Amino acid sequence: MSILVVGSVAFDSISTPHGTVDRCLGGAATHFALAASFFTQVRVIGVVGEDFTSEQEAVFQARGIDIQGIERTAGKCFHWTGEYLENLNEAHTLRTDLNVFERFQPKIPEAYRDSEFLFLANIDPVLQQQVRKQMPKVRMVCGDTMNYWITGHRENLLGVLQGLDALLINDGEAKLLAGETNLVQAAKRIMEMGPKTLIVKQGEYGATAFFGDNSFSMHVKNRFFHAPALPLAEVVDPTGAGDSFAGGFFGYLASQPQVTPSVFKRAMFYGGVMGSFAVERFGTERIRQLTREEIDQRFAAFRELSHLDAE
Amino acid sequence: MSILVVGSVAFDSISTPHGTVDRCLGGAATHFALAASFFTQVRVIGVVGEDFTSEQEAVFQARGIDIQGIERTAGKCFHWTGEYLENLNEAHTLRTDLNVFERFQPKIPEAYRDSEFLFLANIDPVLQQQVRKQMPKVRMVCGDTMNYWITGHRENLLGVLQGLDALLINDGEAKLLAGETNLVQAAKRIMEMGPKTLIVKQGEYGATAFFGDNSFSMHVKNRFFHAPALPLAEVVDPTGAGDSFAGGFFGYLASQPQVTPSVFKRAMFYGGVMGSFAVERFGTERIRQLTREEIDQRFAAFRELSHLDAE
């Protein structure tokens, strides 16, 4: 089944303890789409400027991603400049140039209308809402957001949350959104805001899903599920890890005939797998070179990581 | 099989966002012994003052713990005063009164000499070494330490590390000991210092074991294993969680006929189970009231938490 993703397609200039790259292809929709493309058909809604050339196009095309929904306009692509210091869990934004993103009005091509899965990547909740409303019959909607929208655009964000099957955010964002320091309490409060399920991305500690009363995985024991993270000897660039997690998670879900608890749990593990590959090189470099065989091997390693044999 | 533990038996005065307790029974050896006592016979080596009365004795006796190795001496028990602020992962020491611990010279009663498992809780590495040398034929030795010994008593600590089957420390301590910011690199370096296995306690994120070339669990795939932590809606007092983890881990190991990879993994989960109970109330309160049935139930919940069904 097809996934429609709306979000940023951008250039990133990144500095980490492992080096520096200037204007590499990035953006939440890019990372999400590349990761999800290993599992299902992906369609992208976004906007780019004249600096988006056949070189960037080829990255999507090589993975069979449909980019007819990426609007070309005068000006330059969204450009993020950031750095990571010793603590690779924390990105420091040095500069954000919205450029063509400033006047972005998402339009959905006719050929995208039958998409059954919708991912609202981290952008202005007003735009997330616009896309959501144009896709009333979608089977499942997941979304992401960040501190900037949580603190400064809360009302708009609350409107988006109401329509979500699952919200995927990180630990700090969940606590900020809920105004709680305990994650279980925060999850409870957030699910009262709308999302049936909350998935908390915890970086090097994996990800935890919390299931609400109307969750599509409500029959999971415990009301939560944890996908561990593989200890990595080297993290080159964390940029896009969360979006790659979301792509692996949602891509696998969309590839399955039904969203059962068992499928949901596997999707969480595939999310972890894609996130763990993303950080091995700068930008999209590692995921672009990835094979399905490598994904399956790492999935097996993730599974073994916390697996107890039957008694 | 019996475990011999050497470490502090103390009073703690603790303040957390959930309240304050004054002079409750604590100390690493106490928390360890109580947790391990649910799995196997435990013997304690330590020192106490005149303020250790029948009331404290009764706590050990109720769990069948052998305390003939706890020396009674003039003066007062070791007393730790500390607080936890919003971030419950971090203890702030307000005051440490060593008292009778200052002149402690561990002596091992004859009846303890046949103990097959030895746990060196977090005390001066000189004392850890003294006990280790008096128990040359022990089958397995695990130990703990902390920043204070890592930075200020490194040479002595390195002597202890050489003889350890497993070192159990937290994330920050592992990175400090190794001088590495990446945990996988830190683990590699620490195992070069002696311990066959490193278990990194990660608080609310569970615990990860790293296996070296001579590890008793070297046949585990991946060379590491992760035991998740159950998301808890309320953490009342984190004091003793790490020692309770160690007690559950080592207690289960000692209760089994052989230390196989499968037994080792289960032991990690039992460690997590005991740590998760410890934080539910102040001091030793929760573990004292615990039943084996509750332990088994929570073990099942831990197992379910990250478990993928067979395809």
Q: Which of A205, A225, A232 to mutate to test the interface with B (most CBs of B within 10 A)?
A: A205
Cβ contact, residue pair B183, A231, below 8 Å: yes
Average pLDDT over residues B12-41: 97
**DSSP assignment letter at B8:** -
Cβ contact, residue pair B306, A225, below 8 Å: yes
Over its C-alpha atoms, chain A yields an Rg (Å, rounded) of: 18
Return the pLDDT at A214: 73
Helix (H) or strand (E) holding A88, with range, is: none
Where helices occur in A45-134 by DSSP H, the ranges are 54-62, 125-134
C-alpha triplet A3, A91, A175: angle, nearest 5°: 75
B90 Cβ partners below 8 Å, 6+ apart? B84
pLDDT level of residue B75 (50, 70, 90 thresholds)? very high
* CA pair distance A119, A267, nearest whole angstrom: 15
Report which of residues B304 and B218 the model is more confident about: B304
Residue B49 has pLDDT above 70, yes or no: yes
| Spatial contact of B298 and B275, defined as CB atoms under 8 Å apart | no
Query: What are the structure tokens assigned to B42, written together?
Result: 């435990």
Average pLDDT over residues B194-210: 96
Q: Which of A198, A305, A309, A311 to mutate to test the interface with B (most CBs of B within 10 A)?
A: A305
Å between B272 CA and nearest CA of chain A:
12
Where helices occur in A42-146 by DSSP H, the ranges are 54-62, 125-134
Return the pLDDT at B281: 97
Q: Which of B189, B208, B308, B311 to mutate to test the interface with A (most CBs of A within 10 A)?
A: B308
Return the pLDDT at B302: 95
Return the pLDDT at A217: 60
Return the pLDDT at A310: 78
Cβ contact, residue pair A304, B222, below 8 Å: yes
Å between B156 CA and nearest CA of chain A:
29
pLDDT in tens, A67-94: 999 999 999 999 999 999 888 878 899 9
Average pLDDT over residues B210-236: 83
For the ranges B87-96, B121-130, B151-160, the lowest mean pLDDT is seen at B87-96
pLDDT in tens, A182-197: 999 999 999 999 999 9
Return the pLDDT at A216: 65
Return the pLDDT at A215: 74
Return the pLDDT at B306: 93
* CA pair distance B129, B85, nearest whole angstrom: 35
For the ranges A36-50, A233-247, B75-89, the lowest mean pLDDT is seen at B75-89
Residue A218 has pLDDT above 60, yes or no: no
| Prediction pTM value | 0.94
A37 Cβ partners below 8 Å, 6+ apart? A63, A64, A65, A247, A251
Amino acid identity of residue B192, one-letter, is: E
Amino acid identity of residue B183, one-letter, is: L
Residue B218 has pLDDT above 80, yes or no: no
A131-155 per-residue burial string, b: 16 or more CB within 10 A, e: under 16: bbebbeebebbbbbbbeebbeebee
Return the pLDDT at A59: 98
Bridging pattern class, strands B140-143 and B10-16:
unpaired
Cβ contact, residue pair A308, B262, below 8 Å: yes
ipTM for the whole complex: 0.91
Cβ contact, residue pair B184, A233, below 8 Å: yes
Return the pLDDT at A106: 96
Burial class of residue B222 in the structure, from the number of CB atoms within 10 Å of its CB (0-12 exposed, 13-18 middle, 19+ buried): middle
Query: What are the structure tokens assigned to A267, written together?
Result: 């999707």
What are the C-alpha distances in Å from A111 to residues A66, A257, B62? 10, 22, 72
